[in-house]
Structure 1
Amino acid sequence: MLLSALYLKTMKKMKPVPYRHRPKGLTILYEDRDIIVVDKSAGLLTVKATYEKEKTAHHILTNYVRKGSFKSTKQLFVVHRLDRDTSGVLLFAKSAEAKENLKLQWKAVRKKYVAVVHGILIEKSGTITSYLTENDDYEVFSVQSSRKGELAKTRYKVLREAKRFSLLEIELLTGKKNQIRVHFAEKGHPLVGDDKYGKKDAPKSRLALHSQYITFRHPHSGKELTFEAEVPGFFKSFFDA
């Protein structure tokens, strides 16, 4: 985790939260009066769904900021989302003002991921561009016409290779639903563990997609901040000798 030293000196210190109220299932990387940055584990939803309302990062952290008080009216605001099976850096705002500031700068926010995909890519770096749309079964796919889909751009670089797998560094230049998973599946290199867009006969495993770091300007101070979540050992296991 990298932070502005000047900002840390000027920011009022947060009071320690009693152990019984600390969130479970995620790690807090940073917190102040405006934002919370966490490392979300794979398998945890960002926000509630029809089939799950409480085991979500948003619900867990809302209880955390309320410190167990049922009378508390403190709110937590969703800035962006990670798929349930994607791990890594996730950012929340503590006020509507902070959320609005972050939304306004979102196109300039840098988000990098690491992923393990099936196969060896011929082009070791590049940018995948397409127009994405979604069908009635909530499956995302590319279309040719800009009138039928939304522009999606994914930049990537190969970091390591094994006989049947490649480790990629990925930068989202746009942030569309399932963008990374769809782009590499359509390129012929689906993500390991992707049971929606991946290989149907592949052994079951967790999704090999991790939000490694995010860089943005603090909504109050304007200082540029970068937060990083360590890549799980699962990703490196594919490339061990």
Structure 2
Amino acid sequence: MHQPGKMSQGDYAHYRVDHEAPLLEWLLETLKGESRTKVKATLQGRGIRVNGKTVTKYDYPLKPGMKVSVSKTKRNRVTWKSRWLKIVYEDRWLVVIDKREGILSMAAGHSTLNCKTVLDEYFHATRQNCQAHVVHRLDRDTSGLMIYAKDKDTALALEEDWHHTVFDRRYVALVSGEMVDDEGTVANWLKDNKAYITYSSPVDNGGKYAVTHYHVLKRSVEHSLVEFRLETGRKNQIRVHTADMGHPVCGDIKYGNGDDPCGRLCLHAYRLCFYHPVTHQPLEFETPIPNNFIKNL
């Protein structure tokens, strides 16, 4: 296979196709060292041209003699920044964001600071005729990965088959105290009281059954860094279950014990993997564990 030629204006690398293959498959073979996620992001970010024409379809048929140009510069159509969230993936149907702590997933009451509003402003600024549709939520003080759909049909497709669509979703938390067991499972029923405090019961209390699997990544005498995988997605599930274990999430003013080494709720949604609701391609995303979680071990 030919090596890329000289970089042209616009900073593209050029390749000549020498065998038939779907575009994504060919790109993965050719762009050795590039991750599948990065190649897909370049494709969806309009960074691939075939014979001079921008192509975004994974299965676009390539034939010998065609010229493929790969952008080495911006993956996205525009440069855009927000102090509250970072867009880690975007295509015509959805966006995946990395949310900071301190911002709501969607509007609630009189509060105007929320991710949906920030994304709607971004769509308007980039002249995209769409709005952000909430598919799932993170607590205001929880950071990490979230999906927003760009249209109602995509939102419904994600919501209706959420547990099959999302095949890996994990959180990491800094919890109070030294956890003894390396791993385990907490399972009980969760229900809100009249003050909207979620409480647990070992027997059915009319609430929802909740299952949390945990694995200790690192520990000290004062704190433990723990990975959580949710089998169910109930309100405040990790926060209540860690409190049940006697090791509440640090910085949790609702269910915690006053241990607040980072000045924030130390809960982060760091891994999110799902099948695309339209293309059905598997997408995998991971964000770094916040540094201040690790520093306080």
The TM-score with structure 1 as length reference comes to 0.88
- Give the number of aligned pairs: 234
Q: 1:130 is matched with which residue: 167, 175, 188?
A: 188
Q: Is the Cα contact below 8 Å between 2:45 and 2:77 reproduced in 1?
A: no
Point out where structure 1 has 5 or more consecutive residues left out of the alignment: none
2:147 paired residue number: 91
The structure whose Rg is larger is 2
1:140 paired residue number: 198
Residue 101 of structure 1 pairs with residue 134 of structure 2: no
Any idea what the Cα deviations from partners look like across 1:25-76, whole Å, max 9, x if unmatched?
Answer: 21110101011111100111111122412x111110011112277xx86221
Label 1:232 to 1:203 Cα distance change in 2 as closer, same or farther (>3 A): closer
1:13 paired residue number: 46
Corresponding residue SS for 1:166:
strand
Letter in 2 for 1:137: A
2:92 paired residue number: 33
**Alpha-carbon separation, structure 2, partners of 1:6 and 1:233:** 28
1:175 paired residue number: 233
Any idea what the Cα deviations from partners look like across 1:196-234, whole Å, max 9, x if unmatched?
Answer: 000147567211100001010011110111111221111
Q: 1:216 is matched with which residue: 274, 283, 297?
A: 274
Q: Which has the higher contact order (CA 8 A, sep 6+)?
A: 1
Q: Displacement of 1:3 after TM fit?
A: 4.2
Corresponding residue SS for 1:59:
helix
Residue 114 of structure 1 pairs with residue 172 of structure 2: yes
> What percentage of aligned pairs have identical amino acids?
36
2:51 paired residue number: none
RMSD between superposed Cα atoms in Å: 2.4
Label 1:39 to 1:201 Cα distance change in 2 as closer, same or farther (>3 A): closer
Q: 2:103 is matched with which residue: 26, 44, 53?
A: 44
Point out where structure 2 has 5 or more consecutive residues left out of the alignment: 1-33, 48-75
Corresponding residue SS for 1:64:
helix
Q: Is the Cα contact below 8 Å between 1:37 and 1:92 reproduced in 2?
A: yes
**Alpha-carbon separation, structure 2, partners of 1:235 and 1:229:** 14
**Worse overlay, 229-238 or 196-205:** 196-205
Label 1:18 to 1:115 Cα distance change in 2 as closer, same or farther (>3 A): closer
Q: 2:119 is matched with which residue: 61, 76, 88?
A: 61
For 1:192-211, list aligned pairs within 5 A: 192-200=250-258, 205-211=263-269
Corresponding residue SS for 2:140:
coil
**Alpha-carbon separation, structure 1, partners of 2:238 and 2:268:** 11
**Alpha-carbon separation, structure 2, partners of 1:176 and 1:224:** 24
Any idea what the Cα deviations from partners look like across 1:112-131, whole Å, max 9, x if unmatched?
Answer: 01101111222210111011
Letter in 1 for 2:141: D
The TM-score with structure 2 as length reference comes to 0.72
**Alpha-carbon separation, structure 2, partners of 1:201 and 1:162:** 14
Q: Displacement of 1:93 after TM fit?
A: 0.5
- Regions of 4+ moved over 6 Å: none
Q: Is the Cα contact below 8 Å between 1:24 and 1:60 reproduced in 2?
A: no
Q: Is the Cα contact below 8 Å between 1:2 and 1:226 reproduced in 2?
A: no
